[in-house]
Amino acid sequence: MGRKVTLFDLADALGVSTGTVHRALHGHRDVNLQTKTRVLRLAKSMGYRPNLAARYLSLKRNYRISVNTLKGTTSFWDEVRSGIEKEANLIGLDNVELEFRTYPRLGEGEPEAFEEALRAKVDGIISFPSHPKSFRACMRRAFRARIPVVCVATDAPDTDRLGVVSIDTMASGGLAADLIGQVIDGKGKVATTLSDLQITEHAEKCHAFESTLRSFYPAMQLVAKIEDHDIETEAYDKCRELFRAHSDLAGIYITTEASIPVFEAARDAGMLQQLTIVTTDIFPSLVQQIRAGSVLATIYQRPHTQGRMAFRVLHEFLVHGSCPSPQVTLAPHVITRGSLDFFLLRKAIESTPEKGAQIQLDSHELEGFAIE
Amino acid sequence: MGRKVTLFDLADALGVSTGTVHRALHGHRDVNLQTKTRVLRLAKSMGYRPNLAARYLSLKRNYRISVNTLKGTTSFWDEVRSGIEKEANLIGLDNVELEFRTYPRLGEGEPEAFEEALRAKVDGIISFPSHPKSFRACMRRAFRARIPVVCVATDAPDTDRLGVVSIDTMASGGLAADLIGQVIDGKGKVATTLSDLQITEHAEKCHAFESTLRSFYPAMQLVAKIEDHDIETEAYDKCRELFRAHSDLAGIYITTEASIPVFEAARDAGMLQQLTIVTTDIFPSLVQQIRAGSVLATIYQRPHTQGRMAFRVLHEFLVHGSCPSPQVTLAPHVITRGSLDFFLLRKAIESTPEKGAQIQLDSHELEGFAIE
DNA sequence: TTGAAAGCGATACCAG
DNA sequence: CTGGTATCGCTTTCAA
């Protein structure tokens, strides 16, 4: 394994200066096309790889990243943000500054936050595209400004986003179908609730749920896909209606966090016992339902990890200039009553704030690796 | 937000040289105790944080890490190794060299590999402690040599390992119990298989399984914990015996990869249909069983992620001199028939080799972020 | 015990 | 269009 090739090695071999080599590699204007190709060819043949440490050091400018997300009613978005922060000061050689811009509700204040980030000339944006339509316009501007954008939680189709980090919706739907299907022995009526069929993410979960039923549980019947448009009363009312129309309903898959109104409707209809329920994500009032045994399982969408991954993708691009995997799709976690405590414990650990500034020590000084 | 504090700032403020400050911070011998404490105090009060880029750059020496793992019969250990490699060239600023030392079987060749790594004076070791007893002796030597060791997949109790990365055994057992319990409607006989009750990891899974049954499925009965000692014929024979003794067995939780002999025994006993089975991990012949519908779910132990995390913990220690979380416990993934394909897809992506040396480009040159 | 100074490799500026 | 060179912050000799 030969020693590492440096800029100087290239310059030396070609009889030019490192400045020239540098400009050639980075495609700056004002480089002779010939020397440029010579440099590029040699770099490839010698297997040149830039030394990132040296790069960071000489680059005084810090990367500034804007994190545009929803305020949210549960801790989901807090966890996304804390995941981003954690990854930032783990990876970060202190060369990243995060700027958080949060908007209160779906589609409300999102374009403004985006616009602000663009005006602030950040180097990259991590964003939750809450309103597909207005987001597309934002993306066009980001594209023109050459600011890379990573979407988190939901994809923004037909935009030139650099990457997406989201949960595997197909796996989620498939899991939900299998869990319910197995427990109710492959027969009976089931339903799903979602926010809106227009939202790709939700549509995909339902689709996977339905297609798994078709493939493996032909005797089951999906009788409704309830759209609640993120409005609690709408969810409640439509569920009441559903339970009235199908008093023999056996199971329900709630693809969003909006499970509480469903429980209330089921309880009020006196059907809570008979229903096999799979929910999404986790928060205190849902924990109660799980402990009470009303929930078969909840499908956890790992917001903390989504945040971490989103940061990684963007950082990778800013630093390496390349994007290893424009689509990061996370496997969902299945949480049941018997495993609940272990998941809650992990969640608590994840949200522990980073230990602050910490003087680094040589191992000589650590007394037998003792960790405080 | 004040600008970052450098070594020079500290030296300047104290009227000493950067060399002195450096030596004081690192506890090198031959530093006046007084100046040392003055430096340390000032460093803390000024919130000094070393610039890692500068450190990497000036440190010419690369870290050498030995990865001591099992050859294995399934792809489990291949995935662990590829996870380590992936994280290494993602995080690594090329300052890490990996040396793989693999041993053929449980406890066979393990001490030799360890010894070799110590002799080679590596900077750290990632190891699977396959044989608790001999491993402890190895660890003592590593400790004396001041070489940090991170355990992967299994912990090594009562040793001074730097950290462990493993799957959450409690969550695994709890999940298995809930899955089986719900499907068989909370009543009937169940059993588990494991390699050896001496192995903490297996014992914990069984314990969590049992305790979840006790808490939430009192009408279920755990009739056997079968130890197969990693021998296929032993697993087969003991299962046949089990099935003979309990022809009304309703479910079985296989805590290890050794599920194939169990399927064979069940099939030969004509009980495959009646059993609700939860397995562990995934490999081609198990995939067949899942597709065939013989498996309720398999609990995937995420070897790739285990590898990635193990590397992170060790790297973190070598670089920062601190260990953020000595115990990384991963949440297991639940894979069912309806979600199988999505998990297999992910697995295929994970094991895609890294794109090799790649010239980095400025964003100017990327035509609209187009990723090849 | 401490100070001074020479790198590490890439970047960016200023001359030519 | 290209060469030379100061610079980033830390580590590590070599002298004092």
Cβ contact, residue pair A143, B369, below 8 Å: yes
**Residue the block writes with tokens 């934002």:** A138
First and final C-alpha spacing in chain B: 39
Mean pLDDT (chain A, rounded) = 89
Mutate to test the interface with A, among B51, B207, B282, B334 (most CBs of A within 10 A): B334
d(CA B93, CA A362): 20
Q: What is the pLDDT of residues B29-61, one digit of tens each?
A: 788 888 999 999 999 999 988 888 898 889 877
- Outline which parts of chain A fall under CATH 3.40.50.2300: 169-300
Residue A371 has pLDDT above 80, yes or no: no
CA distance B83 to B310: 9
Beta bridge partners of A152: A165
What's the mean pLDDT in A286-298?
Answer: 98
Chain B residues inside the 8 Å CB shell of A365: 26-27
For B181-195, the pLDDT digits (tens) are: 999 999 999 999 999
pLDDT for B367: 28
Across the interface, of B49, B57, B361, the residue whose CB is closest to A54 is B57
Q: Which of A107-111, A241-245, B171-175 has the lowest mean pLDDT?
A: A107-111
pLDDT in tens, B195-248: 999 888 999 999 999 999 999 999 999 999 999 999 999 999 999 999 999 999
Question: Average pLDDT, stretch A124-131?
Answer: 93
d(CA B160, CA A260): 47
Nucleotides of C under 7 A from a protein CB: 1-5, 7-14
Q: What is the pLDDT of residue A335?
A: 98
Which of A222, A169, A236, A230 lies closest to A194 in space, CA to CA?
A230
A-contacting residues in B 216-255 (Cβ below 8 Å): 216
Among chain B residues, CA nearest to A175? B339
Give the integer Cα–Cα distance in Å for A60 and B1: 16
Cα radius of gyration (chain B): 25
Using alpha carbons only, give the angle A125, A127, A128 rounded to the nearest 5 degrees: 175
pTM confidence score? 0.91
Instruction: Please list the residues that pair with A298 across neighbouring strands.
Output: A279, A335
Beta bridge partners of A156: none
Q: Which fold has domain B169-300?
A: Rossmann fold (3.40.50)
Q: Which two tokens stand for residue A317?
A: 């691009």
What single-letter DSSP state applies at residue B105? B
C-alpha to C-alpha distance for B3 and A356, rounded to whole angstroms: 17
- Position A31 scores a pLDDT of 83
Q: What pLDDT score was predicted for residue A354?
A: 55
3-state secondary structure chain A: CCCCCCHHHHHHHHCCCHHHHHHHHCCCCCCCHHHHHHHHHHHHHHCCCCCHHHHHHHCCCCEEEEEEEECCCCCHHHHHHHHHHHHHHHHCCCCEEEEEEEECECCECHHHHHHHHHHCCCCEEEECCCCHHHHHHHHHHHHHCCCCEEEECCCCCCCCCCEEEEECHHHHHHHHHHHHHHHCCCCEEEEEEECCCCCHHHHHHHHHHHHHHHHHCCCEEEEEEEECCCCHHHHHHHHHHHHHHCCCEEEEEECCCCCHHHHHHHHHCCCCCCCEEEEECCCHHHHHHHHCCCCCEEEECCHHHHHHHHHHHHHHHHHHCCCCCCEEEECCEEECCCCHHHHHHHHHHHCCCCCCCCCCCCHHHCCCCCCC
Give the separation between CA B329 and CA B327, rounded to whole angstroms.
Answer: 6
Q: Sign of torsion, CA B300 B303 B304 B310?
A: positive
Query: What is the arithmetic mean of pLDDT over A120-130?
Result: 93
pLDDT by residue (tens digit) across A298-320? 999 999 999 999 999 998 888 77
Provide mean pLDDT across the span A55-70: 89
Instruction: Report, as an integer, the average pLDDT of A84-111.
Output: 86
DSSP letters of B261-278?
Answer: HHHHHHHHTT-TTT-EEE
Q: What is the pLDDT of residue A179?
A: 98
B361 pLDDT above the threshold of 90: no
A 180-219 residues with CB < 8 A to B: 181-183, 208, 212, 215-216
Alpha-helical segments (H) within B95-195: 110-119, 132-144, 169-183
Taking only residues 288 to 307 of chain B, the set having a beta carbon closer than 8 angstroms to any beta carbon of chain A reads: 293, 296-297
- pLDDT digit string, tens, across residues B300-330: 999 999 999 999 999 888 877 777 778 999 9
What pLDDT, on the 0 to 100 scale, is given for residue B110? 92
Tokens of A343: 């998941």
The proportion of chain A whose per-residue pLDDT surpasses 90, expressed as a percent, equals 70
Pick from A8-22, A165-179, A283-297, B348-362: least confident: B348-362
Q: Which residues of chain B have a CB within 8 Å of the CB of A55? A: 53
State how far the Cα of A30 lies from the Cα of A89, in Å rounded to an integer: 37
Tens of pLDDT along B208-217? 999 999 999 9
Q: B44: which residues sit within 8 A by CB, 6+ positions away?
A: A357, A359
- Region A204-215: what's the mean pLDDT? 98
Calculate the alpha carbon distances from A96 to A85, A303, B360 in Å.
10, 21, 19
